[in-house]
Amino acid sequence: MTKRFLKAITLCTAVILAAPTFSLAGGSVGYGDISIYKNDVLTTKMTGQNPVEDGSLLVCDGKCMFKSEGVSLVALDGSKIAIAGEPEIFKLYVREGSVDYVINNNSRKIAFYTPQGTYTAAEVIFNASTSPVVKGNVLVGDDGKTEITVTEGRMVFATAEGMKTVDANNKIVLAQLPVDKKGLGLEALVAGGLVITEAVVTAIDINNFNDKKPQQLAADTTPSASPSN
């Protein structure tokens, strides 16, 4: 398992170095066999290297990779994700599966969305004595629990309890909302919105990552995120 994880991280790092420059100009680019869904309806199947639309559900048919400016991802076979890149934040929604990430630009935050609808944003902190990258993994288990692991570098997460620092070889487990075991689909989140696990609680539509003015929710709806070793 460890060898497979390290191999995936190596591949992800290689994508950072080798990806063509047009990928940055066009937003995010996918590599591999990827099925594209909108409103849970299959709309396109891509093979090879292609731009991907922000907010679409991306299902990997085999291992696939994604690159946005300063961020590269490797998702395992069957993983279901959505991504969106904005100038100040990169947004990653993982409905199912395992995604390794490599971040080599700390000029913007990275936000993690979960199947249950919780969301947390993190500041990226590089280790100045080593290479300027942050590496880790996002894993959504069969029970819907989301674990965000940091394997290199450091990330500072905004949660309901305040700022939480996660160092290398540690993880944070995002709290789950009381929902159906199957979790929330993208179409369900349109109506209910997402809950942000920060001191200021906010509803965000997963199908509209670019929503600049989300609706405020009552403070008692705040979920929590707790770090664990």
Residue 175 confidence (pLDDT): 66
**Most confident region among 13-17, 146-150, 214-218 by mean pLDDT:** 146-150
Confidence of residue 107 (pLDDT cuts 50, 70, 90): confident
Residue 183 confidence (pLDDT): 39
| Dihedral class, residue 117 (left if φ above 0, else alpha if ψ from -120 to 50, else beta) | left
Residue 176 confidence (pLDDT): 61
User: Rounded to an integer, what distance in angstroms lies between the CA atom of residue 130 and that of residue 28?
Assistant: 27
On the question of pLDDT at 160 being above 80, the answer is: no
Contacts of 69 (CB under 8 A, 6+ apart): 24, 85, 105
| Structural domain containing residue 88 | 2-228
Estimate to the nearest angstrom the gap between the alpha carbon of 128 and the chain centroid: 24
According to DSSP, the β-strands at 154-159 and 162-167 are: antiparallel
What percent of the residues of the chain are helix, what percent strand, and what percent coil, each to the nearest 5? Answer: 15, 50, 40
Confidence of residue 87 (pLDDT cuts 50, 70, 90): confident
Residue 158 confidence (pLDDT): 83
> Sign of torsion, CA 58 182 120 98?
negative
User: Rounded to an integer, what distance in angstroms lies between the CA atom of residue 150 and that of residue 165?
Assistant: 10
For residue 185, give Cα distances in angstroms to 1, 43, 62, 146, 221: 29, 17, 22, 15, 20
CATH number, domain containing residue 42: 2.60.120.1440
> C-alpha angle with apex 39: 34 to 41, nearest 5 degrees?
55
User: Rounded to an integer, what distance in angstroms lies between the CA atom of residue 84 and that of residue 63?
Assistant: 20
On the question of pLDDT at 20 being above 70, the answer is: no
Question: Which tokens hold the place of 42?
Answer: 């299959």
Q: Phi/psi at 199 (nearest 5 deg)? A: -60, -35
Residue 141 confidence (pLDDT): 84
On the question of pLDDT at 226 being above 80, the answer is: no
Contact 60, 76 (CB under 8 A): yes
Q: How many domains does the chain have?
A: 1
Report the range of poorest mean pLDDT among 42-56, 75-89, 154-168, 185-199. 185-199
Contacts of 168 (CB under 8 A, 6+ apart): 127, 150, 151, 152, 153, 154
Contacts of 175 (CB under 8 A, 6+ apart): 118, 197, 223, 224, 225, 226
Residue 200 confidence (pLDDT): 26
Q: What average pLDDT does the structure give for the chain?
A: 71
C-beta neighbour count of 55 within 10 angstroms: 19
